[in-house]
């Protein structure tokens, strides 16, 4: 998800900022956190194990559980951007010195439901930036998405639904940032 939204147009080879809105805390980490929460809920429902409530673990075991959960959530996010269902292996400490392995099944439909409010927040931020610029969704000719979350089908679909066309998202993020910086530096004279 985009954490900042800036509307710029080319006028006589110059970029001009027309509107801006953003949330520096809204993005891929929020999606990973949401998946992490939901995986905890799944384990609680299916195995009666709620990871945050496991008592008696050492600090190292708690940290290892957090890392394992984070890695599974990240991989789940990536895989569900390309497929409709994943079964993720998760190995955690359930008691001091006792590690158990689980398989967590997540569908893209579940994933999209979990992150729906985050996608909506992003669209709302875009709408605010457009309003600040006195523009509508219909007046925009191109949308370029950058970052890992731009590969999530529901993010792409939300942009398509709002703008009436598919966003561009297949460009290399580093290159996109470098090109934008070069353009802005060239316009600072």
Q: For residue 3, what pLDDT is reported?
A: 43
Distance CA(47)–CA(64), nearest Å, equals 19
What are the distances in angstroms from CA 26 to CA 30, 49, 146? 6, 29, 14
Bridge partners of 19?
A: 7
Structural contact between residues 20 and 6, judged by C-beta atoms closer than 8 angstroms: yes
**Minimal CA–CA distance to 106: which of 81, 87, 92?**
87
Distance CA(75)–CA(39), nearest Å, equals 12
* H or E segment to which residue 107 belongs: strand 98-107
Q: What are 158-169's pLDDT values in tens digits?
A: 999 999 999 887
Q: For residue 151, what pLDDT is reported?
A: 85
Structural contact between residues 44 and 50, judged by C-beta atoms closer than 8 angstroms: yes
3-state SS, residue 188: coil
- Give the model's confidence band at 44: pLDDT under 50 very low, under 70 low, under 90 confident, else very high: very high
E-strand spans in the chain? 4-11, 14-22, 85-95, 98-107
Mean pLDDT throughout 35-55? 95
Mean pLDDT throughout 112-125? 92
Look at residue 175 and tell me whether its pLDDT is greater than 60.
yes
Mean pLDDT throughout 1-25? 59
């Amino acid at each position: 998800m985009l954490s900042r939204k800036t509307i710029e147009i080319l006028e006589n080879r110059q970029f001009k900022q027309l509107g801006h809105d953003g949330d520096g805390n809204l993005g891929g980490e929020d999606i990973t956190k949401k998946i992490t929460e939901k995986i905890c809920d799944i384990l609680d429902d299916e195995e009666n194990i709620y990871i945050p409530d496991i008592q008696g673990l050492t600090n190292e075991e708690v940290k290892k559980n957090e890392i394992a959960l984070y890695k599974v959530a990240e991989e789940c996010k990536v895989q569900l951007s390309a497929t409709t269902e994943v079964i993720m292996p998760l190995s955690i400490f359930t008691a001091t010195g006792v590690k158990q392995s689980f398989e967590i099944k997540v569908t893209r439909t579940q994933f999209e439901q979990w992150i729906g409010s985050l996608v909506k927040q992003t669209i709302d931020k875009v709408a605010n930036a457009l309003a600040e610029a006195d523009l509508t969704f219909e007046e925009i000719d191109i949308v370029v998405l950058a970052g890992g979350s731009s590969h999530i089908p529901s993010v792409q679909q939300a942009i398509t639904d709002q703008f009436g066309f598919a966003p561009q998202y297949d460009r290399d993020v580093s290159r996109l940032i470098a090109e934008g910086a070069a353009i802005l530096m060239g316009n600072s004279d």
